[in-house]
Chain A
Amino acid sequence: MISVRESIRDAIAEEMRNDPDVFLIGEEVAEYQGAYKVSQGLLEEFGSKRVIDTPITEAGFTGLAVGAAMNGLKPVVEFMTWNFAMQAIDHIINSAAKTFYMSGGKLNIPIVFRGPNGIASRVAAQHSQDFSAWYSHVPGLKVVAPFDSNDAKLLLKSSIRDENPVVFLEHELLYNEKFDIDNKEKIPNLGKAKIIKEGKDITIVSFSRGLLLALKSHEILKELNISAEIINLRTLKPIDKNCIINSVKKTGRILVIEEGWQEYGVGAEIISIAVEKAFDYLDAEPIRISGKNVPLPYAENLEKAALPQLDEVIQKSKEICYFKEKNQR
């Protein structure tokens, strides 16, 4: 068992050992050992030339890192949280995502932007936002949202090796979670989802921390004799359409869980895919369980209420599976 936090660190360290052009840059990544202790020990191993503390200057160091990538290096840029990357979003989109296309394929930007995304705990709206949909909208970016330690390690290694700008959305509330590492799995190409529970009655699609809820739901639904198939998207862009379509063709039902806001969200995209490509296979209306359309509040009860609820998942799953109480199918 290894924590997601350590897996991320290990992935960076292994890639830095493999390739001298890989370096880590961001606020407090070196001497402080990472604001969330992700980069623990990296300064000691690689020195200050390759593990670089920046001033608090997101637009500046993001632009600088993109420039370094243009000139042959492979930066791993840590945002203390993705909320702060709003200061730098111009460079992520205009400078990094679009340059390969605008240069007619002359200039690619091999760079990873990473850090904790989504809600934290009791830090209110400016520090709690899921940017999955924002970045997944942009051609030229790849967007990765790992769930467990295996995802974190393998997908980050794959992201660092990728020749394109990759937005790597970690989750602060998963950093401490420990998971088994599957040593047999090879480093996957980005763009492939993974079925983590096979089922036949309903497809539940989620990513990142939403999968904790999906897995809990799987257990509860199992007791109700509803067999849920759980898809871990892993990569949000490019999205693995086939995995979703094939699963829906099998189960005839789809429910998406995301922590982000519902309107114009990731769930909307996934359900569009299902409706467009597997319309005739759907036996019930598709369902989105999402964060509520409010800035995330501070108070404990309100914060909890703003997030996707287990009850909602179970209730909606039962509904679309035409489940009748005390009358199991």
Chain B
Amino acid sequence: MDASIKEHKTIINLLGGGKKLTARLKLLSNENINEKTVYSWVRQGIPDRWKVAVSRCLLEDNIDISNYKKLLLPGLQLDNLISANNSVKIFSHSKVLKSDDKYLHNIMSKDELIKLYKMMLKIRRFEEKVGQLYSMGLIGGFCHLYIGQEGVISGIEMLAKDGDCFITGYRCHAHMVSRGEPLQNIFSELFGNEGGTSNGKGGSMHMFRKESNFFGGHGIVGAQVPLGTGISFANKYKNNKFVTFTFFGDGAVNQGQVYEAFNMAALWQLPVIYIIENNQYGMGTSVERASAMNELFRRGESFGIKGYEIDGMDPVSVYGNLKEICDKIREKPEPILIEAKTYRYRGHSMSDPGKYRTREEVQETRENRDPIERVRALLLLKKYISEEEVKEIDKEIREKVSKAADIAREMSNPDHTELYTDIYAGE
């Protein structure tokens, strides 16, 4: 056995043997590597393509990698590996909903789970109604629905504290709902009626709720990222402990200004959480067709920003994972990058032809990964609520949504004088 193979054998043993290493490499790479393959490395040596991943396992275990020079590929910079190691995948603690999943069972109280459930359901029913009204020609312009992604904002809302700040792109109705804006006002804005959140001057993509620190609602893809960074800059300047949640999509991650913002956030250690809501398509372009490096949670690595991938379809996991992270950065500010893997059931906007994905793909996600179904199942499983109550909650929310829409529809258009107000403040 030559020296390098001998060394590789030692390494495999150090990392817990073939079986353990296989599992770790699967997690790390997302590739379905076979246990037998890894066992064969004991005799044949670790192939070059796996050396980087194995090196990262060594680093994770704090094993001095410089002792194993034969493992290192020529030209491989150890420093790069170390910083790459800052990005750790956190896999959903509840990938499959199981009754013996202790993490899931204990992380949220009954009241919290019910609140979470109601929030998601409210967003869904609201957006469904919006879709319906849009199809009837009652809502103008662009209209981007959040259906399918409810778990992301709702999980985060459950851990947010008073004073925390929020900003997002144009897919912003859900954030208005979750931040507590009365539904009627959001409907009014969508209809372009008086009483709308922006007096009918913003529409679907530009909604704000300053009293809950929701800073919009921005129509230019990626622009909200420096803005959110600035909001967190102000929080640090004022020396409060508030966190800024800056949302953007997988489409926005290739805008240059996102990285300009990352750089400053890392340079100045700003208390900002960047949340990539990866719904897998930027309009009709899949992540694979748009991003050369599509592990988006690693996009902050060159700035030393820690990145985590979470299952955005599992709001309990969103809550659990982010709560820990938020508590830390309130005490010691730093930017964090979260990639929430999620999915939108509807088109990019209401005019989406839907040719870029199959109906089966959408159907499969709806049936197996739906965030609302997931929490409903948990509530029933834990006997927190009965089937009867589930129906009751749904009915109540549907009624509220319908009523809000009806009232908003009856409102008149904004007065003509609105045309010339709110151009300049203080006048």
Given the known inter-chain contacts A63-B227, A107-B216, please indicate yes or no for A101 contacting B260, CB distance below 8 A: no
A71 CA / B232 CA spacing, docked (Å): 8
Q: Which residues of B contact A64 (CB under 8 A)?
A: 226-227, 229-230, 233, 261, 264
Q: A163 contacts which chain B residues (CB < 8 A)? A: 424-426
Which residues of chain B are near A103, meaning CB under 8 Å?
Answer: 198, 201-202, 206, 208, 210, 216-217, 422
A90 to chain B, nearest CB (A): 6
Contact check, A55 vs B227: say whether CB atoms are below 8 A apart: no
Residues of B close to A84: CB separation below 8 A: none
In the complex, the chain A residue whose C-beta lies closest to that of B258 is A60
Contact mask for chain B residues 215-252; partner A; CB cutoff 8 A; 1 contact, 0 none? 11111100101111111111101100000000000000
B137 proximal to A (CB < 8 A): no
Distance in Å: Cβ of B162 to nearest Cβ of chain A: 15
Set of chain A residues within 8 Å of B426, measured between Cβ atoms: 108, 162-164
Contact with B along A147-170 (1 / 0, CB 8 A): 000000000000000111000000
Find chain A residues with CB under 8 A from B209 CB.
106
Closest residue of chain B to A55, judged by CB? Answer: B263
**B127 → A minimal CB distance (Å):** 21
| The residue from A55, A90, A139 contacting B264, defined by CB atoms under 8 A apart | A55
Q: Which of A55, A99, A139, A140 has the most CB of B within 10 A?
A: A99
Given contacts A55-B267, A95-B227, contact A63 B261 (CB under 8 A): yes
Contact with B along A72-116 (1 / 0, CB 8 A): 110000000000000000110011000111111111101000000
Residues of B within 8 A of A139 (CB): 423
Q: Are A73 and B237 in contact (CB under 8 A)?
A: yes
Give Cα A99 to B263, complex, Å. Answer: 25
Q: How far is the CA of A67 from the CA of B229 in the complex (A)?
A: 7
Residue numbers in B under 8 Å from A67 (CB-CB): 167, 215, 226-234
CB distance from B331 to the nearest CB of A (A): 20
How many residues from A make CB contacts under 8 Å with B? 41
Is A184 interfacial (CB-CB < 8 Å)?
Answer: no
* A57-B231 Cα distance, complex, nearest whole Å: 17
Structural contact, B198 and A94, CB atoms closer than 8 A: no
Complexed CA–CA distance, A306 and B216 (Å)? 45
With A63-B227, A105-B425 already in contact, the answer to whether A99 and B216 are too (CB < 8 A) is: yes
List, in ascending order, chain B residues with CB within 8 A of A289's CB.
none
Determine if B233 and A54 form an interchain contact, defined as CB atoms under 8 angstroms apart. Answer: no
Query: Contacts A62-B226, A70-B231, A94-B223 given: A100-B208 contact, CB under 8 Å?
Result: no
Chain B, residues 287-309, CB within 8 Å of chain A (1/0): the string is 00000000000000000000000
Asked whether any CB of chain A lies closer than 8 Å to the CB of B256, the reply is: yes
Give the tally of cross-chain contacts (CB within 8 A).
152
Q: Which residues of A contact B425 (CB under 8 A)?
A: 100, 105, 108, 110, 163-164
Chain B residue, CB-CB nearest to A110: B425
Among A54, A63, A101, which residue has the most Cβ atoms of chain B within 10 A?
A: A63
Report whether A90 and B220 are in contact in the complex, using a CB–CB cutoff of 8 Å: yes
- Find out whether the CB atom of B215 lies under 8 angstroms from the CB atom of A107: yes
Which residues of the partner chain A approach B151 to less than 8 Å between Cβ atoms?
none
How many positions in chain B have a CB within 8 Å of any CB in the partner chain?
A: 47
- B199 lies within 8 A of chain A by Cβ: yes
Contact status B422-A105, CB under 8 Å: yes
B319 nearest CB across to chain A (Å): 25
A72 to B237, CA, bound (A): 10
A61's nearest neighbour on chain B, judged by CB, is B264
Partner of A68, one of B197, B230, B260, B423: B230
For B208, give its contact among A65, A66, A73, A107 (CB under 8 Å). A107
Asked whether, in the complex, the Cβ of B256 is within 8 Å of the Cβ of A59, the reply is yes
Indicate whether A71 sits within 8 Å of B423 (C-beta atoms), given known contacts A103-B198, A105-B199. Answer: no
Interface string of B53-95 (1 = CB under 8 A from A): 0000000000000000000000000000000000000000000
Interface status of A131 (Cβ within 8 A of chain B): no
A140 to B420, CA, bound (A): 11
Q: With an 8 A cutoff between CB atoms, is B196 at the interface?
A: yes
B351 touches A (CB below 8 Å): no
Closest CB in chain A relative to B395 CB, distance in Å: 33
For the complex, is B160 an interface residue (Cβ under 8 Å from A)? Answer: no
Within 8 Å of chain B (Cβ to Cβ): is A288?
no
**CB–CB B202/A60 < 8 A:** no
A contact residues around B201 at 8 Å (CB): 101-104
Q: Is the CB of A104 within 8 A of B197?
A: yes
Chain A, residue nearest B421 (CB): A105
- Contacts of B165 on A, CB cut-off 8 Å? 71
Q: Is the CB of B235 within 8 A of A71?
A: yes
Knowing A62-B226, A63-B226, the reply to whether A68 touches B422 (Cβ < 8 A) is no
Cβ contacts under 8 Å, A104 to chain B? 196-202, 422
Task: Report whether A71 and B223 are in contact in the complex, using a CB–CB cutoff of 8 Å.
Answer: no
Q: Does B257 contact A (CB under 8 A)?
A: yes
Q: Does A71 lie within 8 Å of B215, measured CB to CB?
A: yes
- Name which residue of chain B comes closest to A140, CB basis: B423
What residues on A are CB-neighbors of B263 within 8 Å?
A: 55, 57, 60
A209 beta carbon closer than 8 Å to chain B: no
* Chain A residues within 8 Å of B206, by CB: 102-103
Is A326 an interface residue, CB under 8 A from the partner?
Answer: no
Q: Give complex CA distance A104, B199 in Å.
A: 5
Q: Which residue of B lies closest to A54 (CB)?
A: B264
The 8 Å CB contact of A60, one of B198, B208, B234, B257, is B257
User: Does A218 reach chain B (CB closer than 8 Å)?
Assistant: no
A68 CA / B264 CA spacing, docked (Å): 13
A22 CB, min distance to chain B CBs, angstroms: 11
Neighbour of B237 across the interface among A23, A59, A95, CB < 8 A:
A23
Closest B residue by C-beta to A141: B424
A142 beta carbon closer than 8 Å to chain B: yes
Given known contacts A55-B264, A100-B422, A142-B424, A71 and B231 CB-to-CB distance under 8 angstroms: yes
| Closest chain B CB from A70 CB (angstroms) | 5
Query: Which residues in B have their C-beta under 8 angstroms from that of A68?
Result: 230-231, 233-234, 237
How long is the Cα–Cα vector from A140 to B235 in the complex, in angstroms?
A: 26
Q: Can you list the 7 inter-chain pairs with the closest CB atoms, starting with the nearest?
A: A67-B230, A63-B226, A60-B260, A104-B198, A71-B234, A108-B425, A104-B199
8 residue pairs of the A-B complex, CB under 8 angstroms, read A55-B260, A60-B226, A67-B228, A68-B231, A103-B210, A104-B198, A107-B216, A142-B424
Q: A67-B167, A104-B201 are in contact. List 4 more A-B contacts (CB 8 A).
A: A59-B260, A61-B226, A67-B230, A72-B238
